Each structure stands twice: as C-alpha cells, then as structure tokens.
C-alpha cells in the first residue's frame, strides 16, 4: 500500500462553500459577543449610575472608533441571530436539500448585512 498523502495541508487553497463560511462566522460572532459581554455590561452600568457617568459615557461613545466597534458588535449580534434561526430551521427539517441550505446561507449573509446597515444608519 503506497500512501502518497500530502505532508502539509495548504489551507489557503481550500475553497470553503458559503454554508461553511456562515457556520464559521456564526461561531466567531458568538465568541465575539461572549468576549464583549463584560464591556457591554460596564457600558450599561455607566449609563444607569448617574447623569454624570451617562454624559461621560456618551462623550466616549461619540468617537468614530467606538462607534465602529459598536457597529461590529451589532453585526455580530445580527449575524448570530440570523444564522441561529437558520440552524433552527435546519433542525426542524425545513431546509432539507443542498440548494435550500445554500440559499438560506445567502439569505443569512444578506439579511445580517442589510440589518446592520439599516440599524447602523439609524444609530450612527
């Protein structure tokens, strides 16, 4: 038996399908939301403590970098929500074949980006 397998796997040459990318982004967005949870709770605490801490928080959050970070967290939340709904539909056997799975992953990407743009424009 002559095994001629590659010794090193070239990850940059592997073409991952869109449902796989959506799955990885679902995990990444969940991790990002989990890691940002202490900062978000701190923001909530500062906003509710007093009017002085609220105005200080609003001045910090008025910087473009802070707004960009919050916009990234908004995308992470919306993508995680849309992908989670997709996985619920798959678990309930509403998405049965490969074509529907690919279309639902396209819908997740489009919906999360569209909702992020819409809500980002409202909140900016």
pLDDT digits (tens, 9 = 90+) for 53-67: 999 999 999 999 999
Burial (CB count <10 Å: 0-12, 13-18, 19+), residue 74? middle
- Rounded CA gap, 43 and 56, in Å? 11
Q: What is the pLDDT of residues 15-32, one digit of tens each?
A: 889 999 999 999 999 999
Q: Residue 36: its pLDDT value, please?
A: 98
Q: Residue 83: its pLDDT value, please?
A: 98
Instruction: Say what the pTM is.
Output: 0.86
């Amino acid at each position: 038996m002559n095994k001629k397998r590659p010794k090193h796997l070239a990850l940059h040459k592997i073409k991952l399908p869109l449902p796989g990318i959506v799955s990885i982004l679902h995990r990444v967005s969940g991790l990002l939301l989990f890691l940002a949870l202490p900062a978000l709770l701190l923001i909530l605490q500062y906003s509710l403590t007093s009017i002085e801490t609220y105005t200080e928080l609003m001045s910090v959050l008025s910087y473009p970098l802070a707004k960009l970070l919050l916009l990234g967290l908004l995308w992470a939340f919306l993508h995680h929500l849309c992908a989670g709904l997709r996985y619920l539909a798959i678990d309930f056997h509403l998405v049965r074949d490969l074509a529907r799975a690919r279309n639902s992953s396209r819908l997740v990407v489009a919906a999360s980006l569209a909702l992020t743009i819409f809500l980002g424009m409202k909140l900016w």
